[in-house]
Structure 1
């Protein structure tokens, strides 16, 4: 999972807020609540692993898979989430801290519905902020509102048909944040395993339209890794 502030969409997280500010205009009670939630964001970053609901999309092959020479990996996101969240449970308890929990989001593109803006009224952070203890009194509802910022994207990304898993993490207290140097930038990420004992979230692999790897070679490679259960398909895109 990668820090969304380094994503190729420069409006990640800020698209909702910019549209909200246009809508709220002179509604001061809304703006105060948004300001309080932004105080929470100062301590936390959003990390996500991004997927597409279309496993054989030519635009995706071109943009994210070596111009069609790579592979499309098909995950069961419900299983992926369960594996991750169980890793953060204590003593087998299924209760996970809300900041550590990852959850699935289906991206909404373009115009943001007014009811999404109305949800800001339910934020309780502003009350805690006025009492002088807001940093320790954010509720789970407030944290969920911050997470929801990230499910809205500009309509120009519509073709990606994105579904993601998202997690908030504090750069101060989190111990599993890894920093890599990529493309001249420092990129923060959190590793998410897709296997746990007899459970595996990886279900399918689609071979890209320009890949030089054939099904049998890939199947033999996966068998060596103990992943012989994975379904292998070939892209139908006539791209060369």
Structure 2
């Protein structure tokens, strides 16, 4: 289901507008970005109240969902909504890792915050091929900052799922399933898919697109992932390394003598464009980047200069 939704998104107008996504970095990370990328635990990201804000928004919505708005039996709807808060603890158990991009590769705020005051580069990736390049199972999303849109989306999810189950209730024997609990679980399961796509409007300038790696114990299991850590001035941050399908293949079969190699759609991360930060010497930096790209067999990557007249 996730794959189908994602394919529909990629072919939609909104998806086409996000055809290229940018990651701002100090340029000494460029060598790493040709083969791997880091996914940081969402609890340690810049928006410190992201999950709490989502849960507060969720409560404010479902408390105001009127039974009269639902085309179903009143007692059933009340039982679903009144016991909904018992399932909210699932959000606190979740472990999410995200890689954040911007849909704009030349923003002054991003140069200042993430690229050492403009002394870095913005790496533009081909969005439509990025997910297929990565070995791990990811979910891509455009971040929504409008609170009214956020609330409306949650409300529609709750209403649609409740009405769907109630409509089909008489067709199946649900006696062994704890029917109302199952409906609540379905709502929570779907909301899990959008919890990391909402942020405070204070971050809207970032124009963020993110890929999420969700350790759910099913598709992605924690015991099969190596959790790494890096330190900052204020905290120690857990992260995982997202690797390409090709690199994963080489690592798994490095000691075996294989006669043939499978075909990979992308052996490298799909870099389309690199924008050199406004505080760097463009010509010297461009020459070095061209050499790095050549060493890693990248062709037709456009190298551009930031249009922002910023200097420190």
TM over 0.5: yes
Which stretch has the larger CA shift, 61-70 or 11-20? 11-20
**Alpha-carbon distance between aligned partners in 2 of 1:15 and 1:235, rounded to the nearest angstrom:** 35
1:70 is displaced (CA, Å) by 0.4
Q: Which residue of 1 aligns with 2:13?
A: none
1:43 is displaced (CA, Å) by 3.7
Gaps of 5+ in 1: 89-100
**Alpha-carbon distance between aligned partners in 2 of 1:194 and 1:218, rounded to the nearest angstrom:** 21
| Alignment of 1:102 onto 2:138 | yes
**Alpha-carbon distance between aligned partners in 2 of 1:30 and 1:73, rounded to the nearest angstrom:** 45
**TM-score, scaled relative to structure 2:** 0.61
Pair 233,7 (structure 1): closer, same or farther in 2 beyond 3 Å = same
**Alpha-carbon distance between aligned partners in 1 of 2:102 and 2:230, rounded to the nearest angstrom:** 26
Gaps of 5+ in 2: 1-38, 66-77, 166-173, 247-263
Q: In proportion to residue count, which structure has more strand?
A: 1
Aligned residues: 219
Q: Which residue of 1 aligns with 2:196?
A: 150
Q: Which residue of 1 aligns with 2:278?
A: 209
Task: Give the greater-gyration-radius structure (CA).
Answer: 2
**Alpha-carbon distance between aligned partners in 1 of 2:96 and 2:117, rounded to the nearest angstrom:** 28
**Alpha-carbon distance between aligned partners in 1 of 2:145 and 2:118, rounded to the nearest angstrom:** 25
Task: Output one character per residue of 1:77-108: Cα deviation in whole Å (capped at 9) or x when no partner.
Answer: 22111122xx35xxxxxxxxxxxx31211111
**Which 4+ stretches in 1 moved above 4 angstroms?**
none
**Alpha-carbon distance between aligned partners in 2 of 1:198 and 1:25, rounded to the nearest angstrom:** 47
Q: Name which of 194, 218, 239 aligns with 2:289.
A: 218
Backbone CA RMSD of aligned residues: 3.1
Whether the 8 Å CA contact 1:51–1:162 is kept in 2: the answer is yes
**TM-score, scaled relative to structure 1:** 0.78
**Alpha-carbon distance between aligned partners in 1 of 2:138 and 2:52, rounded to the nearest angstrom:** 20
SS of aligned partner of 2:48: coil
1:198 is displaced (CA, Å) by 5.6
1:41 is displaced (CA, Å) by 2.9
